[in-house]
Amino acid sequence: MKINSRCVNYSLFIKEWKDAKRKLLPITAGIIIFSLFTILMMYALPYLVPDIPSELFPELTPTVLSQTFFSNANNILSIITVILCVDAIAGEREKNTFTLLKTAPVRDSSLIIIKTIVRFLLVIIPYIFSTLFAFFLIILMAGKPDIPIFLLASGFFILSLLLYVCIGLLISTFTKSQLSSGAVSVLVVFSLTLVSSLLNQEEAARYNFLQIPVNVFSFSFSNIEIIINVLLVIVFSILLLLLSIVIISSEKEPTKK
Amino acid sequence: MNPLQKQENQMIGVKVENLKKKFNSFFALKGISLSINKPGLYGLIGPNGAGKTTLFKCITGLLTPTEGKVILNNTAVNRKLLFQKNIYGFIPEDVGLYENLSARDFLHILAGLHGLVKTQRKKRVKEVVDFVGIKYSPNKIVRYLSTGQKRLLLIAGILLHDPDILILDESLSGLDPVVRSHVSNLMKELSKEKIVLYSSHILTDIWKLSDEVFVLNNGILVEHDTPLNIIKKITKNVYYIESNDNEEIFSFLKKVSNIKKIEFEGNKILFQIKSENVIDEFNEILSKIMEKHSILSFGYYEPDLDQLFIKMVSSNED
Ligand SMILES: Nc1ncnc2c1ncn2[C@@H]1O[C@H](COP(=O)(O)OP(=O)(O)OP(=O)(O)O)[C@@H](O)[C@H]1O
Ligand SMILES: [Mg+2]
C-alpha cells in the first residue's frame, strides 16, 4: 500500500489554511491600525509631551517616518508573529486534535513545514497590506521615501518574519499548552530583541540581521553584506525547522497535553 | 469499493507481546500479551485506570512501549512506517475534532490526510456517510454537533481509508440508548470483515456484543475468553431455585453434601454445586425437592453484570 503523500500534504495544507483564513482579516485590520498609529504618533508626540522643546524632536522626513515604522514593526510584529505561531502544535495538543494527525500517514517533516508555510502566509499577507498602507501614508504626510531602500527594508523584514515563524513553531513543539507557549515566546522574543539592540553598534550592526530593516535607513550596506544577512536568516530558520522536526519525531508521547 | 486497493486475503491481526509501559516509576501495563487474528468484535473491560487507553495508544503507536512489541497485520508497529497508519482506525476516548470545519469538509480533509485522492474522495465520503447513517446536513459546523452526531462523524472519519483494524476507546459512552444501539449495530456489521477492538464501561454491551472479552486490571490481562465462558468461570456452577417454601428448601439444601455456599438473593436461593457432573447433580437435587415442594423457577444463575465485574476485578486484587 503506497501512500499518496502529495495528497496527504495538500489536505494538511488545506486544513491549516481553512483555519488560518479566519484570522486573516482581523490580523490585517489590526496591523494596519498599528501602522497608522505608529506614524501618526510621531506627529502627535510634540503635543503629548509639551515640556520637551520641539527642536529635540527629529524632523519628520520620509526616511525618519519609514525608519519609525520598521522599528516599531520590528519590535511589535515580531512578538505578534511568534504568538500567532505557537498554537501550531501546542493548540492541537490542547484541543486533542493532534491524534487525528498522528494517526494519519503524515510525515513529521511535512507537518512542520506545512504548518510553517501556512503561518508564514498568515503573517506576511497582513504585513504586506500594512506596509503598502504605511508607504502611501508616508507619501501623503511627508513625501516619497527612497523606494529601493524601502523595498529592501520590507523584503528583509518579510524574511525575518520567517525566522520568527520558525521560532514560534519550535516553541510550539515542546510546550504542552497555548498558554505556556505564549509565555515562553514572549520571553524569547524580548530577550532576542534586547540582545539584537545591544549588539546594534559599529561593525556588529552590519550583521545584526534582526535590525537590518531599521538599519538600512541609517547606513548603506554592500551587496555582499545583504547576501550574508539573508543567508544568516535562512540558515537560522532552517536550523530551527530541523530542530522542531527532530523534537516532534522523537517524542515518546506526542499527543500528551 | 476499496479505495486503497488492498491486496485480497491479506492476513489481518493484532498481536501484542509482553507489552510493558512505564510512566515515571509506575507501570501502567505490566506485560500484556494477546493475539487476535480473525475478524470479530473484541471487548476490553477493566476498571478506571486499568490501562485500557494506554494499551490502545501503544497498539496505535501513539505511545512508545517501555518493553515488548505490537504487530499489526504482520508488521511491527513503528511510528515511522506511514502505511501502517492506514491499517487501523482509532477513536481515542477524548479526541477533539476540527471544530470550525463543516461536517463535509471534516470528512474530506480526513480522507485526504489518509491519502485518498480528490477523485475518489467524494464517492467514498458518500459511501461512508450512508453506511454510518449520518442524517444531519453536511454543512453543519462540527462545533455545533451534539455528542452523538460527533461520534457518528468520527466513526465515518475512521472508516474512510477502509482500515482492517478498528480501535474504539469508550465510543459507546455518552450516547442515548437509540444511538448506542445504532453504533453497536454498526460495530457488529463492521466486525464481519474487520477486527473491532473496543473498550466500554457499559457491561451489558460488552457481554451482548463481543465475540471475545479481555479483562484488564492493574495493567495485567486477567481474563480472555468468550463472554459466556467468563460468566461460567466466575459463577462456577451456581444455580438458583425460586419457590414459596424457600425456608424449607434452604434447610434441605444445607444437608446435601455436594453443595457449597447457599445464600438468598431476593426470592431466590443460590447454591454452588461441587461435583464431577454438575448437571446430573442439579437434576437429582431438583427432583428431590419437587417431590415435596412446588417450584416457581430454577436454572443456571447469571449474576448482575456489574456484580460480576466487581467480583472479577476484586478477585485479582490480591
Ligand atoms: N501520560 C501519563 N503519565 C503518567 N501516568 C499515566 C499517563 N497516562 C496514563 N497514566 C496512568 O496509567 C494508568 C492507566 O491509565 P489509562 O488511561 O490507560 O486507564 P484506563 O483503563 O483507560 O482508564 P479509564 O477507564 O478511566 O479510561 C493510570 O493509573 C494513569 O494514571
Ligand atoms: Mg481510558
For chain B, say whether A21 makes contact (Cβ under 8 Å): no
Pocket test for ligand 1, best of B21, B53, B94, B217 (most atoms within 8 A of CB): B53
pLDDT at B2: 46
What is the rounded average pLDDT for all residues in chain A? 89
- Chain centroid offset of residue B311 CA: 18
- 3-class DSSP assignment, residue B102: strand
A-chain CB neighbours of B92 within 8 Å are 96, 99, 255
Q: Mark yes or no for CB contact B95/A15 under 8 Å.
A: no
Q: Quick one: DSSP state of residue B260?
A: E
Q: ipTM of the predicted structure?
A: 0.88
Over the stretch B48-68, which tens digit does the pLDDT of each residue have?
Answer: 999 999 999 999 999 999 999
Q: How many angstroms separate the CA of residue A25 from the nearest CA in chain B?
A: 16
Which residue is closest to A252 within chain B, CA to CA? B64
Q: Are B36 and B203 in contact (CB under 8 A)?
A: no
Measured in angstroms, how far is the CA atom of residue B56 from the centroid of ligand 1?
11
All three cell numbers of B97, joined, read: 475534532
Q: What is the pTM of this model?
A: 0.86
Q: Is the predicted pLDDT of residue B316 greater than 70, yes or no?
A: no
Q: Mark yes or no for CB contact B113/A15 under 8 Å.
A: yes
Measured in angstroms, how far is the CA atom of residue B168 from the centroid of ligand 2?
10
* B2 CB burial (10 A radius; 0-12, 13-18, 19+): exposed
B-chain CB neighbours of A103 within 8 Å are 60, 62, 85, 88-90
Mean pLDDT for the stretch of residues A218-242 = 92
Over the stretch A74-121, which tens digit does the pLDDT of each residue have?
Answer: 888 888 899 888 889 999 999 999 999 999 999 999 999 999 999 999
B43 phi and psi angles, rounded to 5 deg: -100, 140
B8 contacts: CB under 8 Å, gap ≥ 6: none
User: In the β-sheet with B88-91, what is the strand arrangement from edge to edge?
Assistant: B88-91, B165-169, B195-199, B40-45, B212-217, B220-225
**Rounded Cα distance, A83 and A178, in Å:** 9
Atom 25 of ligand 1, residue of closest alpha carbon: B48
**Rounded Cα distance, B43 and B207, in Å:** 8
For chain B, say whether A220 makes contact (Cβ under 8 Å): no
Q: Mark yes or no for CB contact A97/B97 under 8 Å.
A: yes
Q: Mark yes or no for CB contact A96/B90 under 8 Å.
A: no
Burial A113-128 (b: 16+ CB within 10 A, else e): bbbbebbbbbbbbbbe
**Residue type for A122, please?**
L
* Terminal-residue alpha carbon distance, chain B: 52
Q: Is the predicted pLDDT of residue A73 greater than 80, yes or no?
A: yes
Percent of residues, chain A, with pLDDT higher than 90: 51
Over the stretch B5-42, which tens digit does the pLDDT of each residue have?
Answer: 455 556 889 999 999 999 989 999 999 999 999 999 99
Mean pLDDT for the stretch of residues A175-204 = 85
pLDDT at B315: 61
Q: Mark yes or no for CB contact A19/B62 under 8 Å.
A: no
pLDDT at B9: 53
Q: Are B114 and B161 in contact (CB under 8 A)?
A: yes
Kind of pairing, strands B75-76 and B238-243? unpaired
Mean pLDDT for the stretch of residues B188-212 = 90
pLDDT at B71: 94
pLDDT at B266: 80
User: Considering every ligand atom, which ligand is closest to the CA of A254?
Assistant: 1
